Structure 1
């Protein structure tokens, strides 16, 4: 059955994530370990993904970017999934239990002089509760973007960025005036590839 007729469910998303093996990186490869949550929910007609716009903070390489709830691991976190849960609770007010986390995506280990050595572990969290998003002072605002829009070739674009004197070009997705690019774009594309119908019938 096609996606337009079969409603998205946690079980459906979880099956597709379980059918893949994420590429993981040893925490020893980076100075710091962080986690983000790709929060998904069933919308009226499509699956929806949660994005936040980071607050403008001097010296923060992700200042003002569209991002996913997340942050660095603290010593008090039981594991890196606990980091993802805590940061999601703190930044957007969603207290997702461990059972709401459906799977893990590819780890990200960017190597660039612009940012410190960091390993980012993305998780997919399911949310279908009634409580609304409540952001803290690390976030300017949040948006929910439908899966169909993120897949739409008409909304694909590019970001040109000067890095070490060289211009680099990054793929991006445009959504209601915001640009999703960089590490967040990589997480989204990883998820879109897994969630697609191809190979998952």
Structure 2
């Protein structure tokens, strides 16, 4: 795998600059999220990725989960890329059209709830921030935190978390980010991001 640098400039070189499909012809319900990267406050240190914690809400299958900004595609959204930009603006008050640049689209992820597909596909888009911007969380979120990519990519945050599926105890893969458990859909998307970084290592 090699010793890779994970500062934002190196990450951008590694995964940016390629043609990106902004939409999808899928007939399933669609959603999109934004994996947002920013440089570390210390020069040369690992870039950071934004994670958010969803509010506890009755009826929400992802209530309280660690996630990325995003949500369902609306009829007015001209593309899934537009969905990611709109949802990010609504959820955290960040205008990616003004403050970010699109680097890559990761593989789509089928949405799962309680171990079952829910008939929706999620498109993750990776953005790099080129200017600082304050975050303003809406009522759907209760927390936002920036975590360095390096420890994720080096496997330092790997773990498992117990999960009961149809009465059967399981151990699911997760990332342990401070006191938070990142599992499920968000864990898979972050894993795709790490794979993209390593796949493009030259």
TM-score relative to the length of structure 2: 0.84
Name the structure 2 match of 1:143: 145
SS in 2 for 1:117: strand
Write the distance in 1 (CA, Å) between the matches of 2:37 and 2:142.
20
Write the distance in 1 (CA, Å) between the matches of 2:200 and 2:80.
29
Is 1:37 aligned to residue 34 of structure 2?
Answer: yes
| Distance 1:159-1:12 versus aligned 2 partners, 3 A rule | closer
| 8 Å contact from structure 1 (residues 14, 103) kept in 2 | no
Alignment of 1:90-169 (within 5 A): 90-97=90-97, 100-110=101-111, 114=116, 116-169=118-171
- Name the stretch that deviates more: 12-21 or 145-154: 12-21
SS in 2 for 1:94: coil
Name the structure 1 match of 2:49: 49
| 8 Å contact from structure 1 (residues 89, 96) kept in 2 | yes
- Name the stretch that deviates more: 114-123 or 79-88: 114-123
SS in 2 for 1:153: coil
Q: How big is each residue's C-alpha offset from its partner over 1:2-31, in whole Å with a ceiling of 9 and x where there is no partner?
A: 644x8432x852542556999x97521x2x
| 8 Å contact from structure 1 (residues 85, 97) kept in 2 | yes
| 8 Å contact from structure 2 (residues 111, 120) kept in 1 | yes
Deviation at 1:181, TM superposition (A): 0.7
- Give the 4+ runs in structure 1 shifted more than 3 A: 17-22, 110-115
Give the RMSD, CA atoms, in angstroms. Answer: 2.8
Write the distance in 2 (CA, Å) between the matches of 1:107 and 1:53.
21
Write the distance in 1 (CA, Å) between the matches of 2:71 and 2:158.
27
TM-score relative to the length of structure 1: 0.85
> Runs of 5+ in structure 1 lacking a partner?
none
Write the distance in 2 (CA, Å) between the matches of 1:70 and 1:128.
20
> Runs of 5+ in structure 2 lacking a partner?
none
